[in-house]
Structures are given as C-alpha cells and as structure tokens.
C-alpha cells in the first residue's frame, strides 16, 4: 500500500513539475500580461505601417493579429513595436517582443547564430532592382558600374555584392541605415538603382512622386522567404505561431473565409469539422482553445483574404499571388494536415 502511495505521490509531483514546461514560457507570459507584443516594420506599406489614424495595417500586422485571435480568441489583444532592420533580432532575443513579424528572411545564420526559429513563411519574396525609366536600361545585366542604394543589416547587401561579383560587374553601394533617407536619396538621384525585396520596391514605387517614372527590372536575384520568427527553446510557442499562419493557408485550401466560416461550422466534411474545432483535438494539442482556427479566420481572414487586403492587385502595391498562390494553383502555399 505504502509503495502504491509513493507511486501516486511521485506521479502527481511529476505531472506538477512537467506542467509548466509543457505550457511553455512564452504562452504563460503572454497570458499573464493579456496581450502579444509583436515586432513589426516602422513603415513598410502593405506589410507593417500605421495608417493616418494610427491603426497598424499590413500582412505582417495581420499575422500578429491572427496569433492574438488564436491565443486569446481576440485579435485586438496585440501591441506593436516598430523596429528597424538592425534592431529587430535583438528585440526578439532580449524578450522585448514575443514574436517578430517584420519582413524578415529566413536564413541559416539567423536560425543558428542568432538563436531564432522561423515559422511558416507568410510571403515568398525575392530581391530586385528599382530604377528610374530615364536610366534607359531594361535588364540588371546592364547595371555594370551603377551606384546602388542599399540598406544595411539586411540580406540585401550581401545578395547584391554576390550578384555583381558573379556577373563580373562593378557596383558602388550607397549604404544608408534609415529607409526613408535611403528612399529619399534614390528619388533625389543619388543612386542609379535601389535594391531590396521586390514587394518593398513595389511599396516604394507606389508612394513615389511619379510612380510611372520608375520600373522594377525583371531579374530576381535571391530567395527571400519572409517569415515570422520566435526565440529558440520554446517549441510550443513556435508551434502556435507556425500553425497560426498555416491555419490561414489551410482555411483558403478548404474554401473557408471570414464571410462563410459560421456556415462552415455546419459542414459534414470531417477535415473542416476538425479544423474549426467542431471535432476537438487540435486546440488542446497546441495548448489553445478548440476554436483557435475559427477565431483566426472569423476575425482576420484566410491567407488569400489577408494577401488581397494588404498587398494584392487591388491595393497600391498591386502584387500578383505568384509564388504566394496555393500549391493547387501553382504556388508554394501548402498546409500540412490539421489532425
């Protein structure tokens, strides 16, 4: 009897001790303070920027809201920290923010040396060149000897150096740390070209004095999988951020939108029932409410809705889905089974 009693006590202790580790440090901290602190861009139209009423908007901003919808059932329980390219990873490492949603490219060195985990990519991008049409070139191969405006602390600088070296061309980088200053320098004619992620070039051109005077050259010189990032060491939090983005993609795959999600609760399709938490399991496994995916779609939308609202063809950025289309439409957006 004594031995059984000891076993029961040991088991209870083990469960008690194991519980906090399973719950996850970040989720506990976020629940205790009642909101999620999200690191975003300071002012990148379409991805992270405050509008003239001070409301944060963008694909990355909506990703942050979707995480809040998943965790709290309330997409408004989120605060945004605007960060420069140079500040962003330190802010995550130091715990100033809980998650970074700031057009950050997933790379090997960032995952390892910086101690970060990148989650599901929310925008597949690539680097390109913006030029004034009056420069008279049609291809990046004609940029030999060009002065190129470039932001430090990004993947951009190294990509450009690699591109010019491997193409046997010379270039003169003009490195400016502040994006507004960098753009100003380009529009003032200090550089022949501005190089950056193509989505960002589209944003810069959209707010140019005369957008029609500028063009993006056809070459895409790098791969820039822009992805939310979290700190190493908290797998549960990584899973939550990962499956939040994947839930938006999966909703689009299943034809579930913010408009029809209530109707979809009545679906007889077991995939939809499991996804929306009508059949339980997924929520508990993540440490979230069974309605986490429902809340994301209802309050923020599926991936296609979020894409079109922020960066799609009907926005000033005017971006096609391209690589960001669902895999069923020839793109790279693909969600694993939600079971």
Ligand X SMILES: N[C@@H](CCC(=O)N[C@@H](CS)C(=O)NCC(=O)O)C(=O)O
Structure tokens at 264: 């979809």
Interacting residues of 323 by C-beta distance below 8 A, sequence separation 6+: 124, 331, 332
Nearest approach in angstroms of CB 143 to ligand X is: 17
Identify the sign of the CA torsion 209, 226, 260, 78. negative
Nearest approach in angstroms of CB 252 to ligand X is: 24
The DSSP bridge partners found for residue 83 are: 41
81: left (phi over 0), alpha (psi -120 to 50) or beta: beta
> What phi and psi, each to the nearest 5 degrees, are found at residue 194?
-115, 130
Nearest approach in angstroms of CB 212 to ligand X is: 22
- Strand ranges, E, within 222-271: 224-226, 229-231
Q: Which is nearer to ligand X, 203 or 301 (CB)?
A: 203
Tell me the C-alpha distance between 217 and 239, whole Å: 38
Nearest approach in angstroms of CB 30 to ligand X is: 24
324 close to 332: Cβ distance less than 8 angstroms: yes
Tell me the C-alpha distance between 269 and 259, whole Å: 18
Q: Which is nearer to ligand X, 126 or 301 (CB)?
A: 126
The DSSP bridge partners found for residue 195 are: 129
Nearest approach in angstroms of CB 133 to ligand X is: 21
Q: Which among 128, 125, 132, 100 is positioned nearest to 114, based on CA atoms?
A: 100
Count helices and strands in the chain by DSSP H and E runs: 14, 14
Q: Which is nearer to ligand X, 177 or 262 (CB)?
A: 177
Instruction: Please give the residue ranges that form the binding site for ligand X (CB under 6 A).
Output: 41-44, 84-85, 103-105, 151, 154-156, 179, 196-197, 200, 224, 226
Tell me the C-alpha distance between 148 and 157, whole Å: 10
Q: Which is nearer to ligand X, 39 or 277 (CB)?
A: 39
Angle at which helices 25-33 and 59-72 pack, to 10 degrees?
A: 90
Nearest approach in angstroms of CB 14 to ligand X is: 42
Residue-by-residue DSSP string for 277-318: TSS-SHHHHHTS-TTHHHHHHHHT--HHHHHHHHTSTTSTT-
Q: Which is nearer to ligand X, 156 or 193 (CB)?
A: 156
Nearest approach in angstroms of CB 150 to ligand X is: 7
Q: Which is nearer to ligand X, 42 or 236 (CB)?
A: 42
Return the DSSP state at 212: G
Q: Which is nearer to ligand X, 87 or 258 (CB)?
A: 87
Cα 17 to chain centroid distance, Å, stands at: 34
31 close to 45: Cβ distance less than 8 angstroms: no
Nearest approach in angstroms of CB 138 to ligand X is: 23
Nearest approach in angstroms of CB 265 to ligand X is: 38
Q: Which is nearer to ligand X, 41 or 302 (CB)?
A: 41
Q: Which is nearer to ligand X, 110 or 274 (CB)?
A: 110
């Amino acid at each position: 009897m004594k031995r059984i009693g000891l076993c029961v006590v040991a088991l209870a202790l083990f469960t008690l001790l194991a519980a906090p580790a399973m719950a996850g440090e970040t989720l506990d901290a976020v629940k205790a303070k009642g909101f999620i602190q999200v690191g975003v861009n300071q002012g990148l139209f379409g991805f992270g920027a405050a509008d003239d009423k001070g409301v944060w908007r963008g694909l990355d901003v909506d990703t942050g809201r979707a995480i809040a919808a998943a965790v709290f059932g309330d997409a408004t329980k989120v605060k945004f920290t605007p960060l420069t390219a140079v500040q962003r990873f330190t802010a995550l490492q130091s715990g100033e923010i809980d998650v970074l949603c700031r057009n950050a490219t997933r790379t090997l060195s960032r995952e390892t040396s910086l101690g970060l985990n990148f989650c599901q990519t929310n925008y597949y991008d690539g680097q390109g060149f913006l030029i004034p049409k009056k420069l008279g070139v049609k291809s990046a191969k004609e940029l030999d000897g060009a002065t190129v405006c470039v932001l430090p602390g990004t993947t951009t600088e190294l990509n450009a150096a690699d591109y010019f070296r491997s193409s046997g061309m010379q270039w003169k980088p003009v490195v400016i740390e502040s994006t507004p200053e960098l753009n100003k320098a380009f529009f003032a004619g200090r550089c022949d070209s501005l190089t950056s992620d193509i989505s960002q070039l589209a944003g810069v051109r959209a707010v140019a004095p005369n957008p029609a005077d500028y063009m993006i050259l056809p070459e895409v010189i790098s791969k820039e999988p822009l992805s939310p990032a979290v700190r190493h060491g908290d797998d549960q939090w990584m899973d939550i951020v990962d499956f939040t983005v994947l839930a938006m993609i999966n909703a689009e795959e299943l034809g579930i939108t913010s408009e029809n999600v209530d109707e979809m609760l009545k679906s007889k399709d077991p995939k939809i029932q499991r996804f929306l938490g009508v059949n339980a399991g997924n929520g508990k496994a993540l440490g979230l409410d069974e309605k986490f995916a429902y809340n994301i779609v209802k309050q923020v939308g599926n991936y296609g809705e979020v894409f079109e609202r922020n960066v799609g063809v009907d926005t000033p950025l005017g971006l096609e889905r391209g690589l960001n289309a669902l895999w069923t439409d020839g793109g790279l957006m693909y969600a694993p089974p939600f079971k």
